[in-house]
Amino acid sequence: MDKLDRKILDLLQKNGGLTAAEIAERVGLSKVPCWRRIRRLQETGVIRQTVALLDAKALNVGTTVFVMVKTANHSAAWFDRFVKAVRDIPEITEIYRMSGEVDYLMRIVVPDIDAYDAVYKKLIASIEFLDVSASFALETIKSTTALPLHYVRAE
């Protein structure tokens, strides 16, 4: 990956709707070579997908809840049940397996506390946990999907 690829990725992270021609103009390439680079970045999995970022408040899911989960069971069978339990709950937008005191961290988006309680009840009805605790985000200080590109090794 070279400097032009990083410029292309930077532009696409900021606006996935840019055309190859627009990107080519901004990075100083002609359209076809730029398009080829974008295709290569897609084919190699660097660009996983292109999406639209939606406004949570406009869609009435402006309450973000971070849920910390501890489990006493670390078996593969429990993990499989956990994955099945959470994958079809659309309010759960992210899940991370953690090191330290908490086993899993989930990000849940809902309209309000009552909606979170319904998600919580669905979750605990599906799988057993040692402990579940939640923190409600009061303010978003920074939220981005853009990854830092300065760590990419140049060819």
What are the tens digits of pLDDT across the range 31-85? 999 999 999 999 999 999 999 999 999 999 999 999 999 999 999 999 999 999 9
What are the tens digits of pLDDT across the range 93-142? 999 999 999 999 999 999 999 999 999 999 999 999 999 999 999 999 99
Rounded to a whole number of angstroms, the distance between the first and last alpha carbons of the chain is: 6
CA dihedral angle for residue 131, residue 137, residue 117, residue 112, rounded to 10 degrees: 180
Which two structure tokens, joined as six digits, stand for 61?
């899911």
CATH 3.30.70.920 in the chain, residues? 63-136
CATH 1.10.10.10 in the chain, residues? 3-43
Which two structure tokens, joined as six digits, stand for 85?
């339990």
Of 38, 37, 47, 14, which Cα lies nearest the Cα of 146?
Answer: 14
According to CATH, the topology of domain 3-43 is Arc Repressor Mutant, subunit A (1.10.10)
Position 154 pLDDT exceeds 90? no
Q: Round to whole Å and give the CA distance between 99 and 97.
A: 7
According to CATH, the topology of domain 63-136 is Alpha-Beta Plaits (3.30.70)
Q: Round to whole Å and give the CA distance between 55 and 57.
A: 6
This prediction's pTM: 0.89
